[in-house]
Structure 1
């Protein structure tokens, strides 16, 4: 199976290489992602996230999923000393930095739970794989048609936070200014929930975030700094 849809504002590609695929599984994966978009988008006024942000829902009225997301948001706010913050002054409540990785990992769990062995789920460049080896390219931050690394992994996830797609969109909550100390930061971890949130949180911290991310349990880091300097942990699975 190879299927691509535009969901949550970016292309999502699902590839399954097993000889047989459970009937309706692809539909279930994309239905879940569309549900997430309806419930968690801060850009849709009727979503649970928007209603919570406006103070229309009490804590007792929240879904278990949103409670889980809010817990992750607070965990990383505290861990970064406020650099990562989904409640920035003057801005709407926006947990997208957590929701993306969390929801795509949940979709990958649907695949594994259905017995799928070899798959690749790519959500706007953040990837979850199983049954590899799979090769995942890391885009050069200054050249869209070039890679600065190729990773090889059998299981797990890869996420990158960078300035090249959306400009200086990640804000350091400690200063209220755009984070500019890193050009791109890639995290490899067992789950996309972990990889994506750590990548964004570390990016918000600036250069100090590279060391912070490298110290997180289960994370390998590949970072490109302004000027082209590369920092990476020893366990980054660079393809031979």
Structure 2
């Protein structure tokens, strides 16, 4: 029998369906952000078109309000994500530059710092020093940014990619209530939209919960009840405005 099946091989063999690559967490975060963006698009657009449909049975105003809400929401999401990720990326680059300077100016102090980090994780002083020496010899910069900053310098988030992803997920989510409110005849628009939106929210709630490793039931019901309340409130406001003759 081959002796190549060591401890590491046994660990991976014990979990054949489990992923261990470094980008897994990043991809899960992106997917979770996409699900949340789609959920925002569903709820905000559904509330908007249901409110207008309660006020008017004409397709024109409903379509105009829905499209305006979709575009405004997608642009807002994209801008917010771009600004947020740009700020995070600038901070990460600043930290990386500082770490690079410290390694260049005082490598002994940085080695001691790396050793202390591994000591704090439970290694003995001798073992921590050995680990720090070996990692420093292999790639000092990579070792320090991983242990101290938990940053992968080769995998910084792109602000443009984040903005486009956020806008796309919001748009896809917003398209569902817009189609649901416009496709059926006037008498069935609001009931059809309620059902379609609540089913979509139940699905996004389940997906979000599974990505977060939590029970899908509570997450699903929270998001479904919240979406239902949003539509009920906007529907009642539309009805009141209609009664007031607006």
Which one has the largest radius of gyration? Answer: 2
TM over 0.5: no
Query: TM-score if structure 2 supplies the norm length?
Result: 0.25
Structure whose residues are more often helix by fraction? 2
Query: TM-score if structure 1 supplies the norm length?
Result: 0.25
Structure whose residues are more often strand by fraction? 1
